[in-house]
Amino acid sequence: MALLIAAARSETGLLRKRNEDAWRIYRDQAFVSADRGFLLAVADGMGSGRAGSEAAWMAVDQLAHFYHIAEGQLRGERTLQDLIFRSNDAITRLRTTSGTHYGMGTTLVVALLAPDLSAATVLNTGDSAAFLWRRGRLARVTTAQVNGTGELTNHLGMGPGLVIERARVQLAVGDRLLLSTDGVHGYLPEDALAVRLAGPDPEAIATALTEAANATGGKDNATALVAEIRRAPE
């Protein structure tokens, strides 16, 4: 039997005035039922004023509905994708109809862990990322959806052209998942990520990652969400 330990840390950085990242760990009994598993999410917003922060929180908060849909209407991963598309529609409407939401959008990376923690389905749009750390080795699960100049080619708020990347990851006791915004993995090489993911626990790791990102100059918001699969005590 396995159990999930998860924690996140989000830093504004040294140069930005506002933190436009958002994260959620849906694991409390109020959200998680025995057959729906656990949801982890990280988003990195963009837009003028407070639009980026609003978009990011809209994206991660929408996922709570996954646990409130009636059993007969639940379609697993398809339901989760529908919720992401719903966020895309809402953010797109605001971006195109409200002058205060010009340029509004957000990345989103989500990991849906099976109730027994044996596997995770990862859904991604944008350049936030998911990594799997296993026995000291790090593997990136998602791809960065950017063009040659580093501009996003895929994100929530872009309208009907949104594409959701999907990956399936098998999990084992001792594995650690990292979900992060590019304020972390964009400034720290993968060997530096791997070293810090060997830390004592998810809370310490998330703190070490965001502090290390700040130490590179703190040019961007930095968010790290770390989840560890542990053997449950007998």
Looking at the predicted structure, is the pLDDT value of residue 222 above 90? yes
pLDDT reported for residue 216: 97
Q: Are strands 129-134 and 137-140 parallel, antiparallel or unpaired?
A: antiparallel
CATH 3.60.40.10 at 2-231, yes or no: yes
Looking at the predicted structure, is the pLDDT value of residue 29 above 80? no
What string of H, E and C letters represents the secondary structure of the chain? CEEEEEEEEEECCCCCCCCCEEEEEECCCCCCCCCCCEEEEEEEEECCCCHHHHHHHHHHHHHHHHHCCCHHHCCCHHHHHHHHHHHHHHHHHHHHHCHHHCCCEECEEEEEECCCCCEEEEEEECCCEEEEEECCEEEECCCCCECCCCCECCCECCCCCCCCEEEEEECCCCCEEEEECHHHHCCCCHHHHHHHCCCCCHHHHHHHHHHHHHHCCCCCCEEEEEEEEEECCC
Q: What is the mean pLDDT of the chain?
A: 94
Given a contact cutoff of 8 angstroms between Cβ atoms, the answer to whether 113 and 132 are in contact is no
Q: How far is CA 203 from CA 6, 84, 107, 226, in A?
A: 7, 27, 23, 7
pLDDT reported for residue 31: 64
Q: What is the pLDDT of residues 154-212, one digit of tens each?
A: 999 999 999 999 999 999 999 999 999 999 999 999 999 999 999 999 999 999 999 99
Looking at the predicted structure, is the pLDDT value of residue 67 above 70? yes
Q: What is the pLDDT of residues 72-96, one digit of tens each?
A: 888 888 999 999 999 999 999 999 9
Looking at the predicted structure, is the pLDDT value of residue 143 above 70? yes
pLDDT reported for residue 28: 63
Say how far apart CA 80 and CA 183 lie, in whole Å.
26
Say how far apart CA 141 and CA 139 lie, in whole Å.
6
Whether pTM > 0.85 for this model: the answer is yes
| Confidence bin at 30 (pLDDT 50/70/90) | low
| Confidence bin at 34 (pLDDT 50/70/90) | low
Residues 6+ apart with CB under 8 A from 77: 112, 121, 123, 166
Q: What is the CA radius of gyration of the chain?
A: 17
Q: What is the mean pLDDT of residues 62-76?
A: 88
Q: What is the mean pLDDT of residues 90-111?
A: 94
Query: How many other C-beta atoms are found inside a 10 Å radius of the C-beta of residue 117?
Result: 21
